[in-house]
Amino acid sequence: MKFGNTKESYGLIAIAIHWLVAFGFLGAYISVYYRHWFSEGGFSMTELNSNMIALYLHLSFGITIAVFVALRILWKLMNKTPNDVQGGGKFEHVSAHAMHWSLYAVMIIMPITGYMGTKLDTNFFFLFDIPKFNDTPLYSLIVERWLQTDWEHFEPIIDAIHKNTGAYISWLLIALHAGAALYHHVARKDIVLKRMAPWIK
């Protein structure tokens, strides 16, 4: 299999990054919902209880996704996108493209809003030791100078975007996207899923 995409199919790099990001999303969801539904102990900056470990894992999955998404977009810009698989009407192809762009939007919005809205009073991002947004020069530039507001007003808005997109929009888009891929495989019996999952016979 080729590293790059061809007009007929996705290459190794696009396939690997697609599935790494998909598993990253799974990890981000499992960790945050584990925290909401099953973890013990409350929010604590001093004690590393299961609640905090789950939250730090969520942040780490999110930052990892951001790195892969940046690589993915770079790779997409440098590469061809395979042609649409034959069959299906124009509406189907247009919706599939609209879905892909919406998923790219979600992949960009989720890590950025997650990072910008984190009010943890620490620079310790579990696997990644990166400064939190309101300690960076970007914060003064975007929030104070550009939006002319402060953390108390900015944080609830960015947090609401992160939580609502994550809890509703992103789930829905991923379910429709994965459902469509399975429909192609099971009902249409075409190569749409196999192009992205070549190990499937």
| Region for 189 from its dihedrals, namely left if φ exceeds 0, alpha if ψ lies in -120 to 50, beta otherwise | left
- Give, for 155, the enclosing helix (H) or strand (E): helix 151-164
Residue 79 beta carbon to ligand HEM: minimum distance, rounded to whole angstroms: 9
Of 6 and 148, the one with the shorter C-beta distance to ligand HEM is: 6
Spatial CA neighbour of 66 closest among 129, 111, 20: 111
Of 36 and 145, the one with the shorter C-beta distance to ligand HEM is: 36
Residue ranges in contact with ligand HEM by CB under 6 A: 18, 21-22, 25, 28-29, 32, 35-36, 55, 58-59, 62-63, 65, 76, 81, 96, 100, 103-104, 106-107, 110-111, 114-115, 118, 162-163, 166-167, 170, 174, 177-178, 181, 192-193, 195-196
Of 71 and 76, the one with the shorter C-beta distance to ligand HEM is: 76
Residue 148 beta carbon to ligand HEM: minimum distance, rounded to whole angstroms: 24
Of 111 and 154, the one with the shorter C-beta distance to ligand HEM is: 111
Q: Sign of torsion, CA 21 25 28 31?
A: negative
Q: 171: exposed, middle or buried (C-beta count within 10 Å: 0-12, 13-18, 19+)? A: middle
User: How far is Cα 54 from Cα 60, in angstroms, rounded to an integer?
Assistant: 10
Residue 98 beta carbon to ligand HEM: minimum distance, rounded to whole angstroms: 11
Of 101 and 148, the one with the shorter C-beta distance to ligand HEM is: 101
Spatial CA neighbour of 200 closest among 35, 85, 191: 191
Residue 40 beta carbon to ligand HEM: minimum distance, rounded to whole angstroms: 14
